[in-house]
Structure 1
Amino acid sequence: MSKPNILFVLTSHNKLGKLDTPTGWYLSELAHPYHVLHPKANITVASPLGGEAPVDPASVEATTDDISVDFLNNRSEVWKTTQPLHTFLGKSDSFDALFYVGGHGFMFDLADSEDSRKLIQEFWENDKVVAAICHAPAAFYNVRLSDGTLMVEGKDVTAFTNAEEEQVWLSKVVPFSAEDVLQKASGGRFVKAGELFGEKVVVSGKLITAQNPASGIGVGEAIARALGV
């Protein structure tokens, strides 16, 4: 049996809004799902601009677990050789799943990207697994399907919460709230862990969302189950 193919997507954005502060994708949100899925699937990595996708330095400083440290030290080709996102439009038949990695950079280039919306719609309407972690589920809030309905309407969904954003002092820096837009688009179906930064993975059919960095292993395992590997 051949391995399934998964397209991972990273942000290309490296500056935190109007602040002169570097950002990017969050280390454990890539390292943990990659650790779970790499032995079981073929992984291709894309970003809006292609080439090297910036890792958030704050996520490197905050992460000390062995999986993330090993990934940072030994897997740099994963994020330094990404392919331009637009080149995957029309190619969902070559993949079994689409996974968006979070990080604050995501909110500035992918959360409202037209190419991203088209890609998500295409994967979803071709019955592929569609997943995201932390800020990345924000990319789903305004994806409309061919019949005009919102993809997340009536589906349970999670993402980085307002309270968590407040806790890291960035609620006034991000362009909008992932929780607010998903709560509205889903019709009030946004769910969250019982405590701040607690693990939470939500599976709603082939839609898989995870709340925060603590959910990286869990979202990888949920994707693997959905793919039957």
Structure 2
Amino acid sequence: MAPKVLVVLTSHDHHNANGNPTGWFLPEFAHPWDVLHSKAELVIASPKGGKAPLDPSSVEMFKSDPVSSKFLNEQEPIWTNTVKLSDVASKVSEFDAIFYVGGHGPMYDLYSDATSLSLIQSFAAAKKPVAAVCHGPAVFVKATTPAGEPLLAGAEVTGFSNTEEDQVQLSSIMPFMLEDELNRVSGGKYVKATEPWAEKVVVSNVKGLGGVIITGQNPASATGVGKAILEALGL
């Protein structure tokens, strides 16, 4: 039987500071989906359920990326009919891993979503892989172990860097800088690629629990995160 992966998208569709549209980022779902969908059953969820907002800037930015274009044109029902996150909160035993798609949206809702944090804790406690890419690792900042320790304590981790945020000219409106928060909660273990926008995927053990945390820095890391999830599932 194929493993089952819970894929979580944001429900937040705008930047709070200026109202400009945001959401989840196209290649950060398209590329992992391309890697995973033929080998795992994927269930797509979001905090509000229903249509999860796709960041329109990511459609424009990656219009020449064939994987993203194909996904956009052929798979729309999977993000317009998402399951409500609370409806899977009691079904962790049915899944083998959880993966958070990036985009700026998770910085606003999934960062502090109680259902999401409970799911992360449950997956990690069950030694099931927890994964996120780009801004997705924001979901781990407030996550804890059952003992109340930060999930990322002592774990090497990556995510969208301050330099990259500066280069997309959004640092001034962010609720927090992801690199800074990941570095703080991990105890100085944040790492990044030698160059902005280069691929960086990190697989770390959850301290005291034995499961793995998989993080990717940016859109270029999305395929690698998908592959790391497969590897963690023994595929």
Where does residue 3 of structure 2 map in the other structure? Answer: 4
Aligned to 1:47: 46
Matched, 1:30 2:24: no
Structure 2 gaps, min length 5? 206-211
Amino acid at match of 2:113: S
The residue identity in structure 2 corresponding to 1:144 is: T
Please state if 1:209 is matched with 2:215.
Answer: yes
Amino acid at match of 1:129: P
**1: CA distance, partners of 2:20 / 2:217:** 24
2: CA distance, partners of 1:109 / 1:20: 15
**Counterpart in 1 of 2:94?**
94
Question: Structure 1: where are the runs of 5+ without partners?
Answer: none
Question: How many angstroms apart in 2 are the aligned matches of 1:175 and 1:167?
Answer: 17
Q: Which contiguous aligned blocks of 4+ residues in structure 1 show a shift greater than 4 angstroms?
A: none
Partner of residue 221, structure 1: 227
Structure 1 position 103, deviation (Å) = 0.3
1:140 matched to which residue of 2?
A: 140
Q: Which residue type is aligned with residue 148 of structure 1?
A: G
Whether the aligned pair in 2 keeps the contact of 1:13 and 1:23 (CA below 8 Å) is: yes
Q: What SS does structure 2 have at the residue aligned with 1:172?
A: helix
CA distance in 2, matches of 1:90, 1:185: 27
Contact 2:192–2:200, Cα closer than 8 Å, also in 1: yes
Distance 1:42 1:107 in 2: 27
* 1:102–1:133 Cα contact (<8 Å) kept: yes
Contact 1:138 1:178 in 2 (8 A): yes
Structure 1 distance, partners of 2:69, 2:144, is 38
Partner SS, residue 6 of structure 2: strand
Name the counterpart of 2:59.
60
CA displacement at 1:158 relative to structure 2: 0.3
Q: Distance in 2 between matches of 1:144 and 1:132?
A: 16
Deviation at residue 90 of structure 1 after TM alignment: 2.1
Letter in 1 for 2:233: L
Amino acid at match of 1:156: E
RMSD of aligned Cα (Å): 0.8
- 2:167 is the alignment partner of 1:161: no
Aligned amino acid, residue 200 of structure 2:
K
- Give the Cα–Cα distance (whole angstroms) in 2 for the partners of residues 141 and 187 of structure 1: 12
Asked if the contact 1:197–1:213 (Cα under 8 Å) also holds between the matched residues in 2, the reply is: yes
Separation in structure 1 between the aligned mates of residue 11 and residue 128 of structure 2, nearest angstrom: 24
1:20 positional shift: 3.0
Larger CA deviation: 63-72 vs 141-150: 141-150
Q: Which residue type is aligned with residue 199 of structure 1?
A: E
The percent of aligned pairs where both chains have the same amino acid is 50
Q: 1:132 is paired with a residue of what secondary structure?
A: strand
* Residue 116 (structure 1) shift: 1.1
The 5 A counterparts of 1:46-125 are 46-63=45-62, 64-125=64-125
Letter of the 2:42 partner, please give it: I
Q: Deviations over 1:83-140 (max 9, x none)?
A: 1111111211100000000001111111111111111001110111100000010110
Query: Are the equivalent residues in 2 in contact too, given 1:90–1:122 (CA < 8 A)?
Result: no
Deviation by residue 1:136-185 (Cα, 9 ceiling, x = unmatched): 10110111112121111011100001111111111111111111111011
Residue 90 of structure 2 aligns to a residue in which SS?
A: coil
